[in-house]
Structure 1
C-alpha cells in the first residue's frame, strides 16, 4: 500500500492533521476499542480478570466505536470526548480495579494513561479537563477504601506469573498511549509555532509595506542603505516626485490619483527588479529608487523609467515626474544622502519639471 493510500485512509478515519487533538482523539477511540477487545480476549484466555470485567470490556468496544462515529462524522467532537472521559474514569477504571486485581494490579497504569490523555487532549476544554484530571487522580481513593472493607469483591490472579503477564501488558499499553500523547503535543506545539511565525511575518510585512501600491515604505529604506553601505557597494538614491499631483487630485478626484500612483509604482517596481534595486514609496506622490550603480547608469535607468511611464495609457493623459539622483559618498549619513537627492529633485522642479538632476 503506497503512502498516498495510507494518508487518505488515515484522513478518512481520523480527520484532518490540522486539528491535532481531534485527530489524536479519533485515533485513541479506534485504538481503544481494539485494546478493549484485546484485553477482553487476553483476560479470558489467561484468566487475568473476572468475567464481569471481561464482559464490560467487550461491551465497551461497540460503545467506543459509536463515540468515534458521532465525533468523526457527526461533528460531536467535544461532547463525545467528554462522554468518553466519563465512561473511562467512572465505569472502566473502577470495574477494572475490582475485576482485575485491585491495588496490586495494573489499574494504576491505566489511571496514569488516562490522566496523560485528559491533560493533553482536553487542553482546550477548561472545566472538563480539570474534572477529568481530578477523577483520574482521586478515583483510587474510594476504591482502596472499598477494597479494604470488602476484600472478597476483588479478583486476584491465581499465580504470580499471570500477575506479571498482566502488568507487562498494561505497561506496554500505557507506554503506547504516552508516546501518542507526546507526539500529539509536539504536533500541536509545532502548529502553533508555525502559525505564530506566519503571523509575525505577516505583521512585519504589513508594517513595511505601503498598503496602496504594495511597495516597501520608508521604514525599510534605512535598512537597505545600511546593508549596501556595509557591503561596500557603489549605489545611488533617486528621489522622485510626480508633477502637478495635487492638481490631478483636485481635477480628477483622489480615486484617479490613486490609479496614477499605482501605475507609477508598477513601472518603478519593474525598473528596480530589472536592475537589482529597491522601489520605495516615501509618502504621497514621493518615491525613492535605490540602484546599485553610479550616477551615469542611474540617470540612464531613470530615463528608461520615464519612457516606460509615458507609454502607460492613463485615462486623463500623460503624467510626468521630476527626480534628483545622489550617489552615496564615503561615510555619508543616511539623512545627508536623502537631503542631497531632495535638493536636486527641487532643482528639477524649478527647472520646469519633467526632468532629472544629478
Structure 2
C-alpha cells in the first residue's frame, strides 16, 4: 500500500511545485508567463555555464548571462508574488529581445548557432502574454520575427563580434541542448494557448446559457416570462397526455399600489411569485408571470389535480405573504381539451378567473362546459 501511494504523493508534490511557480489564476497566459519566465531564467543561467564549460565563450560572457538569469528570476518574483504582471511581462519581453537573444547570438556562433529558434519562441510568447498591452504588442512581435535578420546583418558587418564553436562536437551538443530547451518552451506556450481556447469556449458556452436563461425570465420575479411560459405550456400540451392551466391574479393590486407605493407592490409580486414557484415545484408544475399581477401555472395533470394545486397556491398566498394588509389571489383553472387550442384553454381559464373575481375573490373557480361551448361558437367564422 505504501508503494502505491508514492505516485499519488509525487503528483501532489508536482502540483504544489507547479502552483508555486505559476500561481493560482484564471488567466492561463499569466501562468504561462510565470512558467516561461522562470524556465528562461534557468535556461540563460545554464547556457552561460554550458558555454563556459565548453569554451564557447569567455568567463566574463558566461557570468553576464548568469547575471541576466538572476535578473529574470527577480522579474518572475515581482510578477508572481507582487502582482506586477503587466509591467513585468513587458520588461521581460524587452529584456528577452534586446539583451538575452542578442547576447546569445553573438556568444553562441551567430547564424550557425540555435538563437534563431529562440526568436520564434520569443515571438509566440510575446504574442500571447502582451495581448493586453496594445501599444507594445505589435512592434514587439514584429521585432521578434525580424530580429534574426537584423542580427545576421550585424554579423556580416562585424564578424569579429561572434564567438564561434571550437569543434563540431561542441556545436552538436549546443544544438541538442538548445533544441530541447526551445521545444519545452514551445510546448508550454502551446499548452497555454490550448487551455486558453478551451477556457474561452467554456466561458462562451456558459454565457450563452446565461443569456438564454435571462431571455426566458421575468426581470422582477425571476419566473418564466410571458413568452417562455406559453412556449412551455405548448410543449407540455403536445407531449403530455393531459395538461391543465392555472391562471392567477392578485386581488386589488392596483389599490395596494396606490395605497402603499410601487416598492411595496413589487415586493408583494416577488413574494407571490416565490410562493407560486415553490408550490408549482413541489407538484412538478411550471410557474410564469403572465403579465402585470397575473401568473400562470402549467401542470401535466387532470382537472381535479390542478384544482387541488390551485387551492394550495391560493391558501399559501393568503397566509404567507407579508404586507400591511392581507394579500389574496383569485384563480381560474382549465384543462386542455382535444378540440381546442392553447389559446382557447387560456380563454376558458380567464373566464373562470373572471367569475372568481365576481364571486368575491380569494377563491378558485374551474372552467365550465359553457366556457368551452362559447369558445367553439366564437371560433366559427
In the superposition, the TM-score normalised over structure 1's length comes to 0.91
Task: Indicate the SS of the match to 1:234.
Answer: coil
User: Cα offset for 1:146?
Assistant: 2.7
Moved more, 343-352 or 57-66: 343-352
TM-score (normalised: structure 2): 0.86
Residue number in structure 1 paired with 2:342: 334
Tell me the distance in 1 between the aligned counterparts of 2:173 and 2:42: 19
**1:148 corresponds to which residue?**
156
1:64 equivalenced with 2:69 (yes/no): no
2:221 is equivalent to residue 233 of structure 1 = no
Instruction: Quote the Cα distance in structure 2 between the aligned partners of 1:14 and 1:250.
Output: 60
Alignment of 1:71-220 (within 5 A): 71-220=79-228
CA RMSD of aligned residues (A): 2.2
Q: Which runs of 5+ in 2 are unaligned?
A: 1-8, 368-381
Q: How does 1:291-330 map to 2 (within 5 A)?
A: 291-312=299-320, 314-330=322-338
2:272–2:321 contact (8 Å) kept in structure 1 = no
Given that residues 50 and 100 in structure 1 are in contact (C-alpha distance below 8 angstroms), is that contact kept between their aligned partners in structure 2?
A: no
Say if 2:348 is the partner of 1:357.
no
Aligned mates of 1:244, 1:171 — CA distance in 2: 80
Instruction: Measure, in 1, the Cα distance between the counterparts of 2:263 and 2:158.
Output: 86
Q: State the 1:180 CA deviation.
A: 0.7
2:132 alignment partner, SS class? coil
CA distance in 2, matches of 1:304, 1:79: 63
Which residue pairs with 1:259 in the alignment? 267
- More moved, 295-304 vs 263-272: 263-272
1:5 and 1:218 map into 2 onto residues whose CA distance is 55
Query: What is residue 375 of structure 2 aligned with on the other side?
Result: none
Structure 1 unaligned blocks of 5 or more: none
In structure 2, how many angstroms separate the alpha carbons of the residues matched to 1:153 and 1:310?
92
Q: Is the 8 A contact 1:48 1:166 kept in 2?
A: no
CA distance in structure 1 between the aligned counterparts of 2:311 and 2:150, rounded to whole angstroms: 88
Matched, 1:283 2:287: no
Cα distance, 1:316–1:71 mapped onto 2, change above 3 Å: closer
Kept in 2, the 8 Å contact 1:235–1:293? The answer is yes
Change beyond 3 A, Cα 1:258–1:140: closer
- Which residue of the partner structure matches residue 379 of structure 2? none
Q: How far apart, CA to CA, are the structure 1 residues paired with 2:265 and 2:106?
A: 82
Equivalent pairs, count: 358
